[in-house]
Amino acid sequence: MKILLLNPPARKQEYQSIVVPPLGLLSVATHLKSAGYDVTIKDAFAEGMNWIDFAAYIKEKKPDVLGIGGMSPVIDTTFKAIKIARPYAGQIIMGGPHASVYRHLIFDQCPDVDYVVIGEGEESTLALVHAIAAGVTIAGIDGVISKTIKNNDRELIPDINTIHHPDRSLISNRLYRYPLLKDRQVTTVITSRGCPYGCTFCDKSIFGSTWRARSVESVLAEIDEIVNIYNIESVIFYDDLFTLNKERVIGICEGILRKGYKLSWKCEGRVNLADLETMKLMKRAGCSIIAYGVESANQTGLDYLNKKTTVEQAVKAFELTRKAGIRTMAYFILGIPVETFEDELKTIHFAKAIKTTYAQFSVLSPYYGTKVYDDAIQRCWYREVDAHNPMDKDFKRPVILSDNWDEEKLQKILRIAHRKFYLRPAYILTLLLSIESTHQLKNYLREFLNILTWMARSLYPNRRRG
């Protein structure tokens, strides 16, 4: 039985700054492969494949089982790929965040799907594939539904050390890149699943709210493979919350130092957990960027998002991270319904004041299944508009149009944020002086061009369409 797991092509072929391994597909594929199945992964997105070539590929490949995932903002590409593949694929399985959160609608949204895997995919997909191979019913298989059979959800995997390391031989590792790390080639690792916090904009439909961590030994063993088998030295830890357990972080860093790996890595932190001594050790172990969800400079906004952080904690975290010699990425959310235009100007000023190395500004997106979505629907604030962000050029984005915000204001505040933050001569000079490789220089230039193009397009939208 030939199983193909697919990351569909991008909607349009244009430069994508972040192209990272499809870890979800990889984890499911590794689980199936280790059970003896013949599995291939096609990352059409990373390959920059167009839709015509994709159609030819799938026609030739004719998988017995096609598995495909997807996030809500780009789910139309998943549906398009399924439609194209339908005549040539035996059974079609969908998984991932969109399918999980929209489980009640998914067969209406995409009638060509045969089965949907809800939540964590490893165990459920294996059980489903066994059933398909044996030609038996899926009734009783937790975590799997079809048009006619709705099984129970599967329990979260209690010990995630039992999950195999992703088998990176299933993907073309040279395709993956992240513009802010100095090496050309990058890979991603998940060392924990779940997050105990309850930010109201966050979709936790896959990994839930219980933080489940891999052991230090398991993480180091995966790093060992990355360095010694795949010769990759740039890593992004994509855990929701890498820094939750200080002892574990210390163990991982000491292990990296002991083994002498020359890694450069990025992780996600949380401003209320920033600790100088730990960050100094992280720096020695190769941590070059910590990303923090700062979201807002206004406590009312932070409280609306149930962030459980304070503005002062953010100030302190950025000061300490800088002291440790680690670059920072700050994520900000603009257009929070309880904040005004002036409040968001304060947030933009704050981004400069805390001297973050990079900043990512987005407008608040109420995704289905989150508390902000329920609030937006209840108050008739929910709308879907074209994406307003240089990073998310490819999709429709839900926004909140409250008393304080209309579409024009949202666009304007995003333009102001990018102009005020990125187009500062002193900032540009500091970035240029910090460059560690020609690869990084090229990336910086490309990202600047990306931002400038987006700003010009958002100022003159008609020219883009014409």
For ligand B12, the binding residue among 29, 89, 101, 279 (CB under 6 A) is: 101
What's the min distance (Å) between Cβ of 204 and ligand B12?
A: 6
Q: Among ligand B12, ligand SF4, none, what does residue 197 contact (CB within 5–8 Å per kind)? A: ligand SF4
Q: Among ligand SF4, ligand B12, none, what does residue 311 contact (CB within 5–8 Å per kind)? A: none
Closest-by-Cβ residue to ligand B12 is 95
Which residue ranges make up the site for ligand SF4 (CB under 6 A)? 195, 197-199, 202, 240-241, 270, 293
Binding piece for ligand B12, criterion CB under 6 A, among 34-42, 90-98, 147-155, 250-258? 90-98
Spatial neighbors of 304 by CB under 8 A, at least 6 apart, are 200, 336, 337, 338, 339
What's the min distance (Å) between Cβ of 131 and ligand B12?
A: 13
Cα distance between residue 32 and residue 39, in whole Å: 7
Spatial neighbors of 383 by CB under 8 A, at least 6 apart, are 398, 399, 400, 401, 407
Query: What are the residues facing 212 on neighbouring strands?
Result: 193
Measured from the CB atom, the residue of 306 and 453 that comes closer to ligand SF4 is 306
Longest CA–CA span in the chain (Å) reads: 66
Give yes or no for residue 98 binding ligand B12 (CB under 6 A): yes
Measured from the CB atom, the residue of 195 and 387 that comes closer to ligand SF4 is 195
Spatial neighbors of 236 by CB under 8 A, at least 6 apart, are 20, 178, 181, 186, 187, 188, 189, 265, 266, 267
Cα distance between residue 54 and residue 9, in whole Å: 7
Give yes or no for residue 290 binding ligand B12 (CB under 6 A): no
What's the min distance (Å) between Cβ of 244 and ligand B12?
A: 13
Q: Among ligand SF4, ligand B12, none, what does residue 273 contact (CB within 5–8 Å per kind)? A: none
For ligand B12, the binding residue among 8, 9, 63, 73 (CB under 6 A) is: 73
What's the min distance (Å) between Cβ of 331 and ligand SF4?
A: 9
> Cβ distance 101 to 369 under 8 Å?
yes
Q: How many CA atoms lie within 13 A of 62 on its CB side?
A: 1
Cα distance between residue 418 and residue 447, in whole Å: 12
- For tokens 């549906």, the residue is 79
Give yes or no for residue 365 binding ligand B12 (CB under 6 A): yes
What's the min distance (Å) between Cβ of 17 and ligand B12?
A: 9
For the record, the structure tokens of 65 come out as 């089982």
Q: Among ligand B12, ligand SF4, none, what does residue 71 contact (CB within 5–8 Å per kind)? A: ligand B12
What's the min distance (Å) between Cβ of 360 and ligand B12?
A: 8
| DSSP 8-state secondary structure symbol assigned to residue 153 | P
Measured from the CB atom, the residue of 284 and 327 that comes closer to ligand B12 is 327
Q: Binders of ligand B12 among 226-245, rule CB under 6 A? A: 238, 240
For ligand B12, the binding residue among 1, 13, 18, 83 (CB under 6 A) is: 18
What's the min distance (Å) between Cβ of 195 and ligand SF4?
A: 3
What's the min distance (Å) between Cβ of 334 and ligand SF4?
A: 16
Q: How many CA atoms lie within 13 A of 180 on its CB side?
A: 20
Query: What are the residues facing 400 on neighbouring strands?
Result: 382
Give yes or no for residue 69 binding ligand B12 (CB under 6 A): yes
> Cβ distance 306 to 198 under 8 Å?
yes
Q: Among ligand B12, ligand SF4, none, what does residue 392 contact (CB within 5–8 Å per kind)? A: ligand B12
Give yes or no for residue 71 binding ligand B12 (CB under 6 A): yes
Q: Among ligand B12, ligand SF4, none, what does residue 235 contact (CB within 5–8 Å per kind)? A: none
Strands 358-363 vs 234-237: parallel, antiparallel or unpaired: unpaired
Cα distance between residue 332 and residue 50, in whole Å: 33
Measured from the CB atom, the residue of 168 and 324 that comes closer to ligand B12 is 168
Measured from the CB atom, the residue of 40 and 310 that comes closer to ligand SF4 is 310
For the record, the structure tokens of 15 come out as 């430069």
Cα distance between residue 459 and residue 204, in whole Å: 35
Percentages of the chain per state (helix, strand, coil), in multiples of 5: 45, 15, 40
Q: Among ligand SF4, ligand B12, none, what does residue 278 contact (CB within 5–8 Å per kind)? A: none
Binding piece for ligand B12, criterion CB under 6 A, among 67-75, 179-187, 311-319, 420-428? 67-75
| Alpha-carbon dihedral sign for residues 339, 341, 346, 347 | positive
What's the min distance (Å) between Cβ of 239 and ligand B12?
A: 7
Cα distance between residue 171 and residue 167, in whole Å: 8
Radius of gyration of the chain (CA): 22
Q: Whose CA is closest to 351, among 369, 338, 332? A: 332
Footprint on this chain of ligand B12 (rule: CB under 6 A): 5, 18, 20, 22-25, 27-28, 67-69, 71-74, 93, 95-98, 101, 117, 120-122, 125, 190, 202-203, 206-207, 238, 240, 362, 365, 367, 391-392, 394-395
